[in-house]
Structure 1
Amino acid sequence: MRGEQRAYITFLVLWALVTTVKVLVASQLSLFVDESFYWQEGQHLAAAYSDLPGLTAWLTRLGVEMAGDNRLGVRLPFLLMGALLPWLVARITARWFGGRVGWQAGALTLLMPLSATLGILAVPDVPMALAAVLCLDAGARLLRNVDAGGALMLALGLAMGALSHYRFIGVIGMGFIALMLLPEGRRMLRDPRVWMALAVGIFAWLPLLAWNLDNQDAGLKFQVMERHPWVFHGEGLRFLLIQPLMVTPVLFVAMVAVAVSGLRKAQGGFHHVQWRYFALVGATSTLLIFVLGFFTDVERISFHWPLPGYLALLIGVPLLLNRWPRFWRRCVWVTVAIGLVCAMGYYVVVSVPSLREEMAGSKYYPRNFAGWQPLAEAVREELAEMPGDTTVLADSFKVGAELGFRLDDPSIKVLPHALNDRHGRTAQLALWGLLSKGERPGPQLLVLAPSDPRYRDLLARYHQVCELVGPLPPPRVVSLDHGFQRFLLFRLPAQKQSGPCVTPAMAWVDAPVAGAVVADKLDVAGWAFKDGVGLTRVELLLDGRSVGDAVYGRDFDIRAAWPGTSDPRHPHVGFDGQVDVSQVAPGRHWLGLRLYGADGSVEQWAEQPFVVER
């Protein structure tokens, strides 16, 4: 009893601390682009959407109705679900393996990075994880005795999962396989009350099915076919290697041991049918996702996909740990605690602009969290100086949803963009009538996000925008975190203009390379151009301050790399110069460019880091 009491107090303290930190972080962290789109869907309530079933959007709408149209309001229902999940895991484990083991499983759920951070973001994985745990609980109860309560819980879990994500089909399939591998499971599946629960779960898929039937299966095609290559690729190995980091390495080994025990039937004293059920569910679902990692989407984040399987395995981990030496038991708790601090620390860094800026230039820079509030402020300033009937036109669903949330306008029109297609949002935007082909109802403020396309595709994107809206006037540049997040704002007149395509400027710094170490002199070289009108000056900046002009107009022919470019100064678009850094303090500094167009435009380019050492 004393051991159970200590485990309960430990769980309660951890739950209070983790939940408090999650609420604080969620209230400060800028909305991820997908969260903003879910908010936008919640402002256009429907039974289902192009990218997801309806539950995620409904929850965002419920949150803002309860707590206001702010970041915490959007995330509130997801935070509550995330806070409930450890209690459910503890309750399930305690029912079958004892109170002390139950509170230990709940504590591991609070500490494991993937589950610990659940609810900070308003994403469908939160209700899907909760649905998976409800189904897991119901299955364990029904294995012992089929009753109305267990069947009702199964129906609730299946319905919630069906309304959360297409991926929940995999959770259902793996649960069915686990039950078929158990004699008790096969007996359970013969009971009509179980099939009544399954019927409720099937019925919950009907809104999504109806949406796909009405829209040429657009959502199903995207989720099953268009977003996945379905050919073998080596990126699956990286997916496997990152998994131990997501749950911490020693805990990962413990969960593997639980999975192996389930696949090898009852051995080593684990004869409990529920033990094997949890192990089989976790093993089959996790193995399937590991295999699919070699064939599925590698462009979008997918490291969280195995979470439902991990939660099933986590139930069995404390019982297994009781057989491990004390040193390794302590290693599990210490490493998951470190993992929790690292995971929460990442969100804290992303939510604090000064800390996030330090990540600029790295591949881990959180662009989808960065710069949206300064952009919204700049848009308000521009709109205040334009005619009253001016509308906002966004580059893609990302810009449209993020601005919509901050401007309280869920109906901002967006241009066609490859991002809309890659994220399965084009069909939904078209249904809302928010997909613009450049038609001009009056003056418009066009907002482009040049950081979104790959750099090699940026010029083609600019030309595509020109075809839709006409030549682009001089932009206002909103640059953050040394230019690693940039936005361009264009005041478009009421009538579409004719003439050659005028694009924003483009540039590249060949020297210094990023991270170069220098002593007294910094040699600078590169190229810059602006289609349609050309550039007149390239000004050099050191940590944001002007240090003179580069010599612009050197012979540097880049037309082979940029076919279709129309800068009148080609091939003389190279520049070079030298910056005296002898009086600059040692450490990291930033080289920037300010590009002056022949049309009067002034555009600040992304900065290049270098290090001064003496």
Structure 2
Amino acid sequence: MFLVLFAVTLGLRIVIACTLSPFGDEAFYWQESLAPAWGYSDLPPLTAWLIGASEAVFGHGLLPMRLPFLLIGAAIPFQVRAIARRHAGDAAGWQAGTLALCLPLAGSLGVLAVPDVPLTFAVLLAMQGLLGALDDGRRRDWCLLGVGLALAWATHYRAAMPMLGGLVFLLATPRGRAQWRKPGLWLAMGIAAVGLLPIAIYNLQAQGAGVSFQLVERNPWRFHADALVQPLEQAATCTPVAYVALLWMAWSAWRRRGEAPFDAIGSVAGTFIVAYFVLGLFADDVRFRVHWPLPGYLLLCAAWPSLPSSSTWRRIVHAGFALALAGLFGGFAWLGLAASGDGARVLANLKAFPSHFTGWRESAAVLQGELLHDSGALVVADNFMLAAELRFALGGPRTVYSLDSPLNVKHGRAPQLAAWRIDEAGLAMHAGQRVILAVDETSLRERETRGWLGSICARVDIVGPLSRLDLFDGRRRIAFYDARARATPAPAQNPDDCVVWMAAYLAAPH
């Protein structure tokens, strides 16, 4: 059952990865891969390094960009199997791997080139090392723990969460407290610290831009009651019955924290679930976050075959994960439809419009047509996502500038654009040169749109409109303008006097 399910899901992932347009963040990670560095304003370097290495070997395209993530995502169910097999035997390993494949987020890992794929792999790798070291005390297992944590730090600042989970284990369980005197633990921590070097080097070079974004700019650090819906978000992500089953597994493992391997798994998995919930009450409530506890859920899948349970709970687990499997295939269907224009139109009619995956191909085609008439014109987009998507479509060598959109700040990309000199300050160095300006009129919330679009006329000199894309009954609207680069912004004006805002207003569905 595991092997059949693995083959089917992997095949679907490959097909979707070859056809689905890049997500905006994906395109930006790809753009980062063009400039190898110790880090970037949004992330440590591993995601960009993986993309760059793959494209260096296989060339530019959707599949080369996503291939490392497909391979890493394919390995994760086998990691879950290996953890379960260590303590409960071969059959339990296959059962745990099958449960992991059923979870929608886990079964689809690798479709997108995002840092959560290597981060999840790294957390499970560290857990494999920890459990092996606790059982056998071998140096190689302690080294594996350190390597996993180092990879996690090189992938994302959220590597702090498995570190916190490990600390809970070391403080709250008898076996954990015994490890403080083991030299292997300190060997592992020394290896893990190597993964912090890229973060340290980048932030020293960039005046702390990465740490500032992750710890200060993106988080309000005050209680917001709307975050109390997090359990409902998690239930929708895992599917409700599977989420209840996972919470029961977490509680059962924690109750048995005096036994191996439940002490380590219960501590780490429970920390992922509880700490992210508590953190979410005070931290970022704007960006997508439902994927954060995934490594904890996968560890619970590994523990499940070993957990004593009643026949009632076993039926609940089986039913929950069967429904989760249906949710996984529903997710594949949504992504498959999003990969085509006709499918996206179907989703739009069903109120499930995939806005982040649509409009990029059409806008790139318009841009390429304009560049045929003037290949020397500068290409400028009104935000970093559209700029990265257009650069991905053009293949990389051509620079695509971004205006200083609020989106750039919101997603922590403004310092990186400034470092590459492809923001407004970089554009000002080409004052007077012709610009082909692409404007995504649907990128911001409605209350922000007028102020932003109305300010564009002060940022570049608009000569006149070139063309317009109104897609899916106006759900995606991208306009192109003939313009000139300015040396300095003009004085602020009434947004209603700006042709960019008025054209967007007239084109919007009313």
Corresponding residue number in structure 2 for 1:228:
219
Cα deviation, 1:364-418, whole Å, max 9, x if unaligned, reads 42222111011001001111123x4211011111111000100013631111111
Please tell me whether residue 403 in structure 1 is matched to residue 390 in structure 2: yes
Residues 231 and 383 from structure 1, CA distance in 2 versus in 1: closer, same or farther, beyond 3 angstroms? Answer: same
Instruction: Identify which of 364, 367, 377 aligns with 1:379.
Output: 367
Mapped partners of 1:115, 1:179: distance in 2 = 28
Corresponding residue number in structure 1 for 2:507:
605
Corresponding residue number in structure 2 for 1:531:
497
Does the 8 Å contact 2:458/2:491 carry over to 1? no
Residue 500 of structure 1 deviates from its aligned partner by 10
> What is the 5 A alignment of 1:12-23?
12-23=3-14
Corresponding residue number in structure 1 for 2:161:
170
Q: CA RMSD in A?
A: 2.6
Does the 8 Å contact 2:239/2:327 carry over to 1? yes
Residue 426 of structure 1 deviates from its aligned partner by 0.8
Residue 321 of structure 1 deviates from its aligned partner by 7.5
Residue 308 of structure 1 deviates from its aligned partner by 1.4
Does the 8 Å contact 1:60/1:73 carry over to 2? yes
Residue 499 of structure 1 deviates from its aligned partner by 9.8
Greater relative CO, 1 or 2 (CA 8 Å, sep 6+): 2
Please tell me whether residue 300 in structure 1 is matched to residue 291 in structure 2: no
- Paired residue secondary structure (1:167): helix
Please tell me whether residue 342 in structure 1 is matched to residue 330 in structure 2: yes
Does the 8 Å contact 1:448/1:489 carry over to 2? yes
Corresponding residue number in structure 2 for 1:290:
277
Residues 311 and 532 from structure 1, CA distance in 2 versus in 1: closer, same or farther, beyond 3 angstroms? Answer: closer
Mapped partners of 1:498, 1:328: distance in 2 = 62
Mapped partners of 1:480, 1:320: distance in 2 = 52
Identity of aligned residues (%): 34
Residue 69 of structure 1 deviates from its aligned partner by 0.8
- Structure 1 letter corresponding to 2:473: H
Does the 8 Å contact 1:471/1:497 carry over to 2? no
Instruction: Identify which of 377, 391, 399 aligns with 1:390.
Output: 377
Residue 304 of structure 1 deviates from its aligned partner by 0.4
Residues 51 and 497 from structure 1, CA distance in 2 versus in 1: closer, same or farther, beyond 3 angstroms? Answer: closer
Does the 8 Å contact 2:103/2:321 carry over to 1? no
Corresponding residue number in structure 2 for 1:71:
62
Mark the runs of 5 or more structure 1 residues left unpaired by the alignment.
1-9, 505-529, 535-564, 568-594, 596-601, 609-614
Mark the runs of 5 or more structure 2 residues left unpaired by the alignment.
none
Residue 248 of structure 1 deviates from its aligned partner by 2.2
Instruction: Identify which of 283, 299, 302 aligns with 1:312.
Output: 299
Residue 332 of structure 1 deviates from its aligned partner by 2.9
Residue 67 of structure 1 deviates from its aligned partner by 2.7
Residue 494 of structure 1 deviates from its aligned partner by 7.2
Mapped partners of 2:96, 2:446: distance in 1 = 46
Does the 8 Å contact 1:477/1:604 carry over to 2? no
> What is the 5 A alignment of 1:46-445?
46-265=37-256, 272-320=259-307, 323-325=310-312, 327-360=315-348, 364-386=352-374, 388-409=375-396, 411-437=399-425, 439=428, 440=431, 442-445=433-436
Residue 531 of structure 1 deviates from its aligned partner by 2.7
- Structure 2 letter corresponding to 1:485: R
Does the 8 Å contact 2:253/2:307 carry over to 1? no
Q: Which has the larger radius of gyration?
A: 1
Mapped partners of 1:92, 1:487: distance in 2 = 49
Does the 8 Å contact 1:393/1:415 carry over to 2? yes
Cα deviation, 1:522-568, whole Å, max 9, x if unaligned, reads xxxxxxxx63689xxxxxxxxxxxxxxxxxxxxxxxxxxxxxx9x8x
Residues 131 and 383 from structure 1, CA distance in 2 versus in 1: closer, same or farther, beyond 3 angstroms? Answer: same
Provide TM-score, normalisation by structure 2: 0.93
Does the 8 Å contact 2:129/2:144 carry over to 1? yes
Residue 272 of structure 1 deviates from its aligned partner by 3.7
Mapped partners of 2:508, 2:451: distance in 1 = 19
Mapped partners of 2:256, 2:310: distance in 1 = 18
Residues 497 and 445 from structure 1, CA distance in 2 versus in 1: closer, same or farther, beyond 3 angstroms? Answer: farther
Residues 174 and 409 from structure 1, CA distance in 2 versus in 1: closer, same or farther, beyond 3 angstroms? Answer: same
Residue 223 of structure 1 deviates from its aligned partner by 0.6
Does the 8 Å contact 2:82/2:93 carry over to 1? yes
- Paired residue secondary structure (2:301): helix
- Structure 1 letter corresponding to 2:288: I
Deviates more, 1:140-149 or 1:376-385: 140-149
Does the 8 Å contact 2:142/2:188 carry over to 1? yes
Corresponding residue number in structure 2 for 1:448:
439
Cα deviation, 1:139-187, whole Å, max 9, x if unaligned, reads 1111112212201211210111010100111211112212322222222
Residues 50 and 329 from structure 1, CA distance in 2 versus in 1: closer, same or farther, beyond 3 angstroms? Answer: closer
Deviates more, 1:290-299 or 1:220-229: 290-299
Residues 417 and 99 from structure 1, CA distance in 2 versus in 1: closer, same or farther, beyond 3 angstroms? Answer: same
- Paired residue secondary structure (1:492): strand
Residue 217 of structure 1 deviates from its aligned partner by 1.2
Mapped partners of 1:237, 1:196: distance in 2 = 40
Residues 296 and 24 from structure 1, CA distance in 2 versus in 1: closer, same or farther, beyond 3 angstroms? Answer: same
Mapped partners of 1:305, 1:277: distance in 2 = 19
- Structure 1 letter corresponding to 2:177: R
Deviates more, 1:14-23 or 1:174-183: 174-183
- Select the structure that is richer in strand: 1
Please tell me whether residue 30 in structure 1 is matched to residue 21 in structure 2: yes
- Structure 1 letter corresponding to 2:268: V
Does the 8 Å contact 2:88/2:305 carry over to 1? no
Residues 499 and 242 from structure 1, CA distance in 2 versus in 1: closer, same or farther, beyond 3 angstroms? Answer: closer
Residue 13 of structure 1 deviates from its aligned partner by 0.8
Corresponding residue number in structure 2 for 1:488:
479
